[in-house]
Chains A and B, each alone.
Chain A
Amino acid sequence: MKRILNLMPLVVFGILVVVLYSFLTQENEQLESVLVDQSVPEFKLPALENPNNILSKSSVNKLPALINVWATWCIACRVEHPFLMQLKNKSTLTVYGLNYKDDRKKALDLLENEGNPFEFSIFDQQGKLAIDLGVYGAPETFFVDKEGIIRERHVGALTQKVWKEKFEKFLNEDNDV
């Protein structure tokens, strides 16, 4: 009995290690197999600004564009917010917001106080579109090219550095065409 009891911690931590290992390997597959190079999925969701305005895939029409997944409860989203404001002011690229599992009033308050970098925000309270997009957590940013194809995805806060490394190239490419 004593012997078995002494083994317990080893067993519990053994399981923990296996679980953590499965996260590590699983996460990689997931991040690589999302909708990159596929078109934006269909959806029917209300606009954040106006619940009666039902948006769909065809509302996302000023392309190329970024789709930024955000929420008021997400701290890293606040970190990237000033950068999104800069993008709005400096670049011609449209940014669409996907307000994810949030409270409408809080979200609108935040946009009013901190500035609204988005063309409009899709209000996805149940995370329906987010699931279709394979969203891993907020914040997350997708680049949609002018054919409506998702070309790049970034998990985590969007910063100048990330922008340079992952997204800027698409704009140049678009100019070339």
Chain B
Amino acid sequence: MIPEIGHIFLISSLVLSLVGGLGPFIFNKELPIRKMALLMFLLVFGSFITLIYSFVVDDFSVAYVAQNSNINLPIYYKFAATWGAHEGSLILWILSMNIWLLAFISFDKNRNTNFSNIVFGVCSLVIFSFLLFTIFTSNPFERILPIPPLNGADLNPSLQDFAFTVHPPLLYFGYSGLLLPFAISISAMLSGQSNKDWASSSRPWTLLACSFLTVGIGLGSWWAYYELGWGGWWFWDPVENAAFVPWLLTVALVHSLIVTENRNLFVSWSLLLSIFAFAASLLGTFLVRSGILTSVHAFALDPERGLFMLGIFSFFVLGGLAIFAFKNSTENKTSFYSLNSKEFGLLLNNVLLVVLAVSILFGTLYPLIYEAYTGGKQISVGAPYFEFIIFPFSILLGLLQGIALYLSWGSTKSFNFLTKLILESLSIFLLTLVLLFVLFDELIPASFFTIFIFSWLIVGSLLINFSFKSFNKYLDFLNRRIGVLLSHTGMALLVLGVGVVSSYSNDIELILDTGEKIEFLNKDVELLDIKDINGPNFISKTANIKVLDSGRTFNLQTEKRTYFPSGQVTTEAAIDTGIFRDFYISMGDNFKGDSWSFKLQSKPFIRWIWLGALLITLGTFISSINILRRKS
């Protein structure tokens, strides 16, 4: 009965979103958009709750529950299994879009103007199309009747994990947040809202979407690091790229909107970028859900769903671009700015980010294109291509970001800051090298570039305006610009983390018998024993390992788990975390008797990558909240 109620909620929200979507365009009527947005949200929320309920009470007559849960699954994971696969993810996605819409309407001060009505209409249409997609191709409320299974098939074991349970909701929230910039851009073109108005209305939401995308991607990377058992933090997997491309475009949009709002420039560019960012998030969904690209992210592969997604993509993206080509009523003036202005700096930033995004998208799609036009020949584009591409872009973007905050609108009067910037960055650079030498006893030239960029960024974002004499003034500056300073500092830490971990990492693979001792990077590592341990829904071989590291002794447990409903095997890595290095042990396969293979890795500075991502998340979040507060 409960699942049917959820189903009815879903269908009611479908009808409501269609009315809301057509209202502003066809009836040309003033709709009670606040109430409608609230009602739509409540209906989808209700249906989400009923789905959670079906999971929690083990209602295996619901096909989706039977496929993704199990009686023995711990209650917390039953709850999280709701979004463990395609159908539930979609509901969550639609729910997020509703939350964004509701938030926009609540903060909107142009209430019931043509502008807000069209934003509401576009959002409702997108929500309608996703609801249609869900109900017709991916309905989570379908029943297995008359004889339901007694037990479910289980949630994919590698997804039974804390980071996983929060990674998808946050990422979806970020992805779906790009709906607002898109809707605002369409509405700006149709209603002819002034550029300052629509750009300032779009900026906080773009920042917020960026914040959620960053934390979602960061959590995904962290999860892959400790859960998959390889110690990697980024794989250039198509699904990762599908999130990275929208992120890059969103970052570009965050910057170009500043120019549109303050200088009435880059108008068409910001409009287009809003459409592109949304298109990239839809395209990502399409690539992942259609199964065109195979990857570690095991999702449902279904060509019918692919066609449906492609339909949604074409309708909104081509529709948006057609409006841009024929119905664009925003005011577009040209004015001059010099090559040393903030405008030009932000232009370069945008060009670099967008070209990088397109290159990564191209690398992701290229295997498909190659195959289609060579009659089925295969090619794989892997990490070397992406690393080769991203390196020069990061250097250029980094150099630019370091001076960004010193530039002024129109033209920058003096470049005297450069001497100070260069000298201070060089000192930080040398200090960092000394620190690395003290920590790891060696200097690796390959990392010098990234370490210099790190120093340049730290100086460019934190030490700007710094002086002991007017320290209070400096604190005031920090306070005023806290959002941008945090995100830019986050970028610096991330760059350092990537640079150090990719050149200072060490690993060794070996076979250990119980009681055997070895030495790895001045650490004594001893395999104490291997025990059989029974978990709630798995059995595990747990290796207990003692490590003696410069006077400190600690024990680590790494596991090979076999989850019994599915028989799937996962590796639980043992990680001794540290701000300067992680020590990472993962268990391989059994050889004979009690000897197992192990992989030992040292991952210096890897935490800085996620710390950086966290600062970017915080920074963009704070900026967004500050703008929203100022407005209301």
Binding site for B on A (CB under 8 A): 3, 6-7, 9-10, 13-14, 17, 19-24, 26-28, 30, 73-76, 78-79, 82-83, 85-86, 101, 109, 113-115, 127, 130-131, 134-137, 155-157, 159-161
User: Can you list, as one digit per residue, whether each of B384-406 has a CB less than 8 Å from chain A (1) or not (0)?
Assistant: 00000000000000000000000
A85–B589 CB distance below 8 A: yes
Task: For the complex formed, measure the closest distance between the CB of A143 and the CB atoms of chain B, giving whole angstroms.
Answer: 19
Residues of B within 8 A of A160 (CB): 566-568
Residues of A within 8 A of B328 (CB): 6
Interface residues on B, range: 35 or more
A10–B324 CB distance below 8 A: yes
A17–B382 CB distance below 8 A: no
Q: Which of A79, A115, A135 contacts B588 (CB 8 A)?
A: A115
25 contacts between A and B (CB under 8 A): A9-B325, A13-B279, A17-B310, A19-B372, A22-B372, A23-B368, A26-B372, A30-B376, A75-B237, A78-B230, A82-B569, A86-B567, A109-B509, A113-B597, A115-B590, A115-B597, A130-B378, A131-B376, A137-B294, A155-B294, A156-B301, A159-B568, A160-B567, A160-B568, A161-B153
Complexed CA–CA distance, A156 and B298 (Å): 9
Interface of chain B residues 516 through 574 with chain A (CB within 8 A): 566-569
A27–B294 CB distance below 8 A: no
Given contacts A73-B380, A114-B589, contact A7 B310 (CB under 8 A): no
**Is there a chain A Cβ closer than 8 Å to B369's Cβ?**
yes
A23–B372 CB distance below 8 A: yes
**Is there a chain A Cβ closer than 8 Å to B290's Cβ?**
yes
- If A137-B367, A155-B294 are given as contacts, then 12 extra A-B residue pairs at C-beta distance below 8 Å, sorted by A number, are A6-B325, A10-B321, A10-B325, A17-B314, A23-B372, A30-B376, A85-B589, A114-B589, A130-B378, A134-B376, A161-B153, A161-B566
B567–A127 CB distance below 8 A: no
Complexed CA–CA distance, A17 and B320 (Å): 14
Task: For the complex formed, measure the closest distance between the CB of A131 and the CB atoms of chain B, giving whole angstroms.
Answer: 7
Complexed CA–CA distance, A109 and B313 (Å): 44
Q: Which of A27, A79, A82, A131 contacts B377 (CB 8 A)?
A: A131
**Is there a chain A Cβ closer than 8 Å to B462's Cβ?**
no
Task: For the complex formed, measure the closest distance between the CB of A32 and the CB atoms of chain B, giving whole angstroms.
Answer: 11
Residues of B within 8 A of A78 (CB): 230
Residues of B within 8 A of A14 (CB): 318
Chain B: which residue is nearest A21 at the CB level? B310
**Is there a chain A Cβ closer than 8 Å to B15's Cβ?**
no
**Is there a chain A Cβ closer than 8 Å to B8's Cβ?**
no
Given contacts A73-B380, A114-B589, A160-B567, contact A28 B303 (CB under 8 A): yes
Complexed CA–CA distance, A71 and B210 (Å): 36
B296–A17 CB distance below 8 A: no
Q: Which of B286, B318, B324 contacts A6 (CB 8 A)?
A: B324
User: Can you list, as one digit per residue, whether each of B133-157 has a CB less than 8 Å from chain A (1) or not (0)?
Assistant: 0000000000000000000010000
Chain B: which residue is nearest A4 at the CB level? B325
| Most chain B beta-carbon contacts within 10 A, residue among A17, A22, A131 | A17
Interface of chain B residues 21 through 50 with chain A (CB within 8 A): none
Q: Which of B272, B295, B367, B599 contacts A9 (CB 8 A)?
A: B272
Complexed CA–CA distance, A177 and B73 (Å): 40
Task: For the complex formed, measure the closest distance between the CB of B234 and the CB atoms of chain A, giving whole angstroms.
Answer: 12
A75–B296 CB distance below 8 A: yes
**Is there a chain A Cβ closer than 8 Å to B322's Cβ?**
yes
A76–B569 CB distance below 8 A: no
Residues of A within 8 A of B192 (CB): none
**Is there a chain A Cβ closer than 8 Å to B169's Cβ?**
no
**Is there a chain A Cβ closer than 8 Å to B306's Cβ?**
yes
User: Can you list, as one digit per residue, whether each of B574-617 has a CB less than 8 Å from chain A (1) or not (0)?
Assistant: 00000000000000111100000101000000000000000000
Residues of B within 8 A of A23 (CB): 292, 368, 372
B509–A113 CB distance below 8 A: yes
Complexed CA–CA distance, A113 and B587 (Å): 10
Residues of A within 8 A of B292 (CB): 20, 23-24, 27
Complexed CA–CA distance, A21 and B309 (Å): 11
Chain B: which residue is nearest A100 at the CB level? B378
Given contacts A21-B310, A86-B569, A113-B509, contact A13 B378 (CB under 8 A): no
B567–A114 CB distance below 8 A: no
User: Can you list, as one digit per residue, whether each of B176-192 has a CB less than 8 Å from chain A (1) or not (0)?
Assistant: 00000000000000000
Task: For the complex formed, measure the closest distance between the CB of A108 and the CB atoms of chain B, giving whole angstroms.
Answer: 13
